[in-house]
Amino acid sequence: MLKNKFHLLNIFILVGLFVFLSVNTSLAQQNNNALDKIKERGSLIWGADAEGGAPYIFPDPDNPENYIGFEVDLAEAIAKKLGVKALHKQNAWDGLVPALERGDFDIAMNGIEITDDRKEAILFSRPYYVYVEQLVVRKEEDNINDLNDLKGKKVGTLSGTVAQDILQNLGGVDVRIYPGQVQPYEDLAIGRIDAVLLDLPIAAYYGKPNPKLKYAGEPMGEGLYGIAIRQEDEELKVKIDEILAELLRSGELKKIYEKWDLWNEAQDELYEKMQVESGYADLEKSRQAPIYTFFPLLLKGAGITIIISVVSMGLAVTLGLFLTLIRLYGRAPFTYLSTAYIEIYRGTPLLIQLFILYYGLPNIGISLSPWVVAFLGLGMNYAAYEAEIYRAGISAIPKGQMEAALSLGMSRSLAIRRIILPQSLSISLPGITNDFIALFKDSSLVSIIAIVELTKTYNILAASTLRFFELGLITAVLYFGMSYPLSLLARRLENSLKRKKVGV
Amino acid sequence: MITVKDLHKYYNDHYLFKGISLDVKKGEVVAIIGPSGSGKSTFLRCINGLEKFQKGEVIVDGIKLQSINRSNPSKEDLEVIRKIRLKVGMVFQQFNLFPHMTVLENIIEAPVKVLGIDRNEARENALTLLRRINLENKIDSLPEDLSGGEQQRVAIVRALAMKPDVMLFDEPTSSLDPETVGEVLSVIKDLVDRGMTTLIVTHLMQFAREVADRVVVFDKGDIIETGLPDEIFTNPKNERTKSFLSRIINK
């Protein structure tokens, strides 16, 4: 009878595993849609406003049916890497994002600034250009040299841009919003407005060459252009990011910008942003990558987990002993304080404690680094538990031990130190090592306060490679590999303590 | 040597001692007998401060210990108790050897850590004492490797290592197998013969009769009778003493 039940259980487990695996892999395949569609179609459709869109995208003066511009070049470069052609689709600047969401094109690329508001609606590729704002005024203008001089003046800008936000936030500025980027400069030249604030590429094309206009002040502010992608097209984003990174690395991107006189020092930032991400494998590559390519990163995460766990446990073990000794042998107000500490820390979630330390304390002026928060949070929390384990060990020691020690003339503290504690430690040890092993796993919580330990590393890798199962298995093995030796060590310690010899 | 004056002790509303007194001269051996629960052990433990008392005085070799507020003794009180404990050695029914230390370590721990005696000197003293009880070969053994009788003898030596002026024995043989009782008793007898002031709480009437200079009879927290061993054992005056003895001796 029992044998049959076992059999059934085994079958259930196998079926479950099979279903789980197939669901997992099929989920991974769903995201192929956008990229696959593009490849099937043979073209990357990109949306941009060509009307007055130099140097982004605008009609070739020599051949107006053709569009040129640095974004045209970029779109073509990206499409080439995808193995397809670039097809531009005209759309008004204002409506680019809604049109993208509707599905009118695969991506939108038109000097779209990466802002938090936009991020709520769409995905952005990695930045492809660092823009700055440049103020332009009439040649004879002497009163306007920077933003502060704009109070009470009429200033033109393009709608829906960061420049618009800047002007509006200044306060006291008569902001004139234009649907396109050519008109503001025309109006400025005629005298309808006093100044124009727009991104440098625009200022460079429409402001500078105009003999009636000139730059006012240095470029200010810094922002990033990103390619807009629908939120569900994550794989497309990853692919485009990869391509942009390649273009950056190979120098192709720089060439495009130099052609349009747009390259400047600020673009170095694009390289910096690359540094951060170069450790992570790109999606395509990572699909085929042998699993050991992720080992270095996971091992690094494991190393951080070890450091956090060991240091926190050190704090917990020390503080816990202190708490117990105060509680058992201390004087009136302190014994209550110790008990209160233990109850509060045991009675509230570790997660909340970390949140309060990290996000709450700054409200009263104490700003701790993530590492300090990790050590304190884990250490102080676990100290409460260790305190109780110590107490259990101490109360397990027969009363006669303390009495004998006292009778011999020992002070209480000497008796505790030499007679009680050493004996209680061999009782407490299993509990403490148990907690240590648990702490290793609890350390994963510090990923919420910006520390990239093993679990966070797993999350990041799995999200970008979609290999949740394999990576998960390896991560679990790593955790086990950190915990099990601890168990063995603990057992050895217990055995050697059992011999009950105190070093003389 | 020891003077107990008008000792009062109660627990919440429950009275243990309602004013008992006792005098012990230097070199005297006093046996304390009586039914279980009569307060013999508690009385003994009041002398070296293991039990607190609410009223009365305990004077050991001139050091005066008055009643102590239980939960928060003052520094002076603790000093007095400490001084008394250096003069008074105690041997427990449960031996109470330190299980994580060897015999040697048990014996020299207090002399070295409390009296500041040089470790080697303490070791020599320990050896001397152990030789006297024929246990020097066990000097590096752990308590768990010793028999009950051996452990108690080591416990006695441990107390002696502090060179006390008084030794208190709280039912030292009650936890021992009958075979090993004898070896412990002979150690105590040896000690007594060397002139140690001794208070011993015991159920062994024969032994009490043999070693005691005086016998004190306890019952229900009161000293009901004191006298020479022969008087007490052959001709007790108190009715309760009589009934107690008849229960014990007619076994």
3-state secondary structure chain B: CEEEEEEEEEECCEEEEEEEEEEECCCCEEEEECCCCCCHHHHHHHHCCCCCCCEEEEEECCEEEECCCCCCCCHHHHHHHHHHHHHEEEECCCCCCCCCCCHHHHHHHHHHHCCCCCHHHHHHHHHHHHHHCCCHHHCCCCHHHCCHHHHHHHHHHHHHCCCCCEEEEECCCCCCCHHHHHHHHHHHHHHHHCCCEEEEECCCHHHHHHHCCEEEEEECCEEEEEECHHHHHHCCCCHHHHHHHHHHHCC
Predicted confidence at residue A26, as pLDDT, reads 44
ipTM given for this complex: 0.93
CA distance A217 to A164: 18
**B213/B227 Cα distance (integer angstroms):** 9
B139 in reach of chain A (CB within 8 A) = no
Contact status, residue B231 vs residue B218, Cβ threshold 8 Å: no
- 8 A C-beta contact, residue B102 and residue B140: yes
* DSSP label at residue A178: E
Residue carrying the six token digits 């063995």? A488
Q: Can you give the length of chain B in residues? A: 251
Of A98, A128, A99, A92, which is closest to residue A113 (Cα–Cα)? A128
Q: Inter-chain contact B114–A332, Cβ cutoff 8 Å?
A: no
Q: Which residues of B touch A400 (CB under 8 A)?
A: 92, 94, 96
Q: Looking at residue A7, what is its pLDDT?
A: 61
Contact A409 B94 (CB under 8 A): no
* Exposed / middle / buried, residue B67 (Cβ in 10 Å: 0-12, 13-18, 19+): middle
Report which residue type is found at B87.
K
- Closest listed residue to residue B46, CA positions, set B209, B219, B201, B204: B201
Angle in degrees, 0-180, between the axes of helices A421-442 and A370-395, rounded to the nearest 10 = 140
Q: DSSP for A188-233?
A: HHHTSSSEEEEEHHHIIIIITT-TTEEEEEEEEEEEEE--EE-TT-
**Which of B96, B100, B144 lies at the smallest CB-CB distance from A404?**
B96
Q: What is the pLDDT of residue A20?
A: 54
* A188-to-A166, B174, B246, B249 alpha-carbon distances in Å: 19, 111, 126, 126
Judged by average pLDDT, the poorest of A158-167, A299-308, B90-99, B117-126 is: A158-167
Could you tell me the end-to-end alpha-carbon distance of chain A, in angstroms, rounded to an integer? 61
For residue A499, give the chain B residue with the closest CA. Answer: B100
What residues contact residue B39 under an 8 Å CB cut-off, 6+ apart? B16, B17, B218, B220, B221, B222
| Residue A240 near residue A229, CB atoms below 8 Å | yes
Contact B92 A500 (CB under 8 A): no
With contact defined as beta carbons under 8 Å apart, do B212 and B32 qualify? no
CA-CA distance, B229 to B227, in Å (whole number)? 6
Span of A65-69, A186-190, B6-10, B52-56 with lowest mean pLDDT: A65-69
Give the pLDDT score at A450: 63
Answer whether A313's CB lies under 8 Å from A434's CB: no
- φ and ψ at residue B226, rounded to 5 degrees: -135, 155
| Residues in CB range of A67: below 8 A, 6 or more apart | A50, A57, A58, A59, A60, A88
CB contact under 8 A, A501 and B99: no
Question: In terms of Cα–Cα distance, which of B16, B75, B13 is closest to B45?
Answer: B16
Who among B85, B98, B113 is closest to A407 (CB)?
B85
For A100-111, the DSSP string reads HHHTSSSEE-SS
d(CA A394, CA A386): 12
pLDDT at B196: 92
Question: What is the side-by-side strand order in the sheet with A85-90?
Answer: A85-90, A43-48, A107-108, A228-229, A123-124
Separation between Cα atoms, residue B114 and residue A415, nearest integer Å = 11
User: What distance in Å separates residue B14's CA from the closest CA in chain A?
Assistant: 23
| B96 vs A331, A403, A422: nearest CB | A403
Residue B247 neighbours by CB under 8 Å, 6+ apart: none
Amino acid A414: pLDDT:
93
Q: What is the pLDDT along chain A (504 residues), one digit of tens a residue?
A: 445 555 666 666 666 666 555 444 444 444 457 888 898 899 999 999 876 577 888 777 666 667 888 999 999 999 999 999 999 988 877 788 888 888 889 999 998 988 888 888 899 999 999 888 899 999 998 888 888 888 889 999 988 788 888 888 888 888 888 877 777 888 888 888 899 999 888 888 888 888 889 988 888 878 889 999 998 888 899 999 999 998 988 888 989 988 887 887 777 777 765 544 443 334 445 556 677 777 888 888 899 899 999 999 999 999 999 999 999 888 888 999 999 999 999 999 998 998 888 777 877 877 777 788 899 999 999 999 999 999 999 999 999 999 999 999 999 889 999 999 999 988 898 899 989 999 998 998 887 776 778 887 787 677 556 677 888 899 999 999 988 988 898 888 878 776 655 443
Report cis status (omega within 30 of 0) of the bond before A485: no
Beta carbons of A32 and A228 less than 8 angstroms apart: no
pLDDT at residue number B235: 83
The alpha-carbon radius of gyration of chain B (Å, integer) is 18
Chain A contacts in chain B segment 63-122 (CB below 8 A): 72, 82, 85-86, 88-90, 92, 94, 96-102, 105, 109-110, 113-115
The answer to whether B157 and B129 have CB atoms below 8 angstroms apart is: yes
Q: How many CB atoms lie within 10 A of CB A477?
A: 11
Distance from C-alpha of B29 to C-alpha of B166, rounded to nearest angstrom: 10
Point out which residues pair with A87 in neighbouring strands.
A45
Output the pLDDT for position A96. Answer: 86
Task: Summarize pLDDT for A259-310 with one digit per residue, the tens.
Answer: 887 887 777 777 765 544 443 334 445 556 677 777 888 888 899 899 999 9
- DSSP run (H or E) holding A480: helix A468-498
**Residues from A in contact with B at Cβ < 8 Å:** 331-332, 398, 400-401, 403-411, 414, 418-419, 422-423, 426, 500-502, 504
The more confidently predicted of residues B50 and A504 is B50
Q: Given an 8 Å threshold on Cβ–Cβ distance, is B82 in contact with A418? A: no
